[in-house]
Amino acid sequence: MITFWQQENNKLIKYEDENELDLNKRTWINVRSVTREDIVVLEEEYKVDPEHILDILDQDELSRVETADDYTLIIVRLPAFNPENDIAYSSLPLGIILLPDKILTICWSDCEVLKDIAANRIRSLSLNDFPAFVMHILSRADSTYLRYLKEINRKATIIQKELERSVNNDDLIQLLTLEKSLVYFTTSLCSNQLLLEKLMKTRYLVLDEEDKDWLEDVQIDNRQAIEMANTYTNILSGMTETFASVISNNLNIVMKRLTIISLVLMVPTFITGYYGMNIKLPFANLDWLGTVIVSIICLVAVGITLPIFLNDTTVEKKSKKQKKFISPRQKRVKRGKIE
């Protein structure tokens, strides 16, 4: 879908038809949810290279900047949130094409950054300065990344509290999807960082001193987002490993209990199996009294073996409770008393 935007009284006005545009004003052409008809229009009317369109529509395309015959192409990765997807938080490429009197933004889907621009949520946005317009997009992308990272951290904290109560597969899968989102964010932010450094060192964009200072601030925000993404990734990885250890420990406890039960039941099974042999055995001629005697022997055997195994487990628990943390100062005091 192609929409046309021009600025009037510091506000962006949307036009559905290109014939309604004022030819004396600069135009922002927003292409979202690209269709085949849109691709034909971009190639024939605006002379966009088909390879560049394919690169922009590639979901895994990294950020870069290059020049063509009649325009400058900038590809930047923007954060995206779609709760209907398996991975709600992800990133997607946005193509920015700078023409002499027009700026095109091409994206195969929709994202919050473009919605904010179209809704006039960004202050001091001007179409008369295309480099500043690009800086607005990059700055808004970093602020959106930071907000999404905080939301991911908050959701991870909620899932952690749920897992502390009871470990279940759904919560672990949610942790995995959040960890995947952080990996996507980290890759996209690092790619954007290389783009920002290239814009600073090269002359693809004609930047004045104010734009350069602004670009440095955008780089700082981008590095902060990278550090946050790396930190949250490490936290989620440690959390996942911890709960995996908890699950393994719980399984070991269950297996230990089942082993104790099987060992306790093995003794009466041995006794009853012994009396199942087809030979002369004690109490074999006592009819029902022999059955009672054998049952009493089995109960006595269980009563003797069960406390033995239970005693081992209680001793182990008591030894764990008695282990306390000894600070270095207490260790030095003890050493001094011994010496």
Query: SS3 of 57, please?
Result: helix
Phi/psi of residue 72, nearest 5 degrees: -115, 130
Spatial contact of 107 and 2, defined as CB atoms under 8 Å apart: no
Query: SS3 of 126, please?
Result: coil
Contacts of 239 (CB under 8 A, 6+ apart): 156, 160, 175
Quick: pLDDT tens for 112-137: 898 888 888 888 888 888 888 999 99
Rounded Cα gap, residues 126 and 131, in angstroms: 10
Rounded Cα gap, residues 96 and 108, in angstroms: 13
Threshold 0.95, pTM exceeds: no
Nearest alpha-carbon partner for 306 in 274, 254, 266:
266
Map out the domains of the chain as residue ranges: 2-246, 275-338
Quick: pLDDT tens for 12-70: 898 878 888 888 889 999 998 888 998 999 998 888 999 999 999 999 899 999 988 88
Spatial contact of 48 and 61, defined as CB atoms under 8 Å apart: no
Rounded Cα gap, residues 160 and 155, in angstroms: 9
Kindly report the CATH number that applies to the domain delimited by 2-246.
3.30.460.20
Quick: pLDDT tens for 176-233: 899 999 999 999 999 999 999 998 888 888 888 888 898 999 999 999 999 999 999 9
Query: SS3 of 93, please?
Result: strand
Q: Which helix (H) or strand (E) holds 95?
A: strand 89-98
- Indicate the length of the chain as a whole number: 339
Rounded Cα gap, residues 321 and 62, in angstroms: 54
Nearest alpha-carbon partner for 137 in 125, 148, 147:
125
pLDDT band at 97; cut points 50, 70, 90: very high
Cα of 176 vs its chain's centroid, Å: 7
What type of residue is 32?
R
Instruction: Provide the CB-side half-sphere exposure for 280 (13 A, CA).
Output: 1
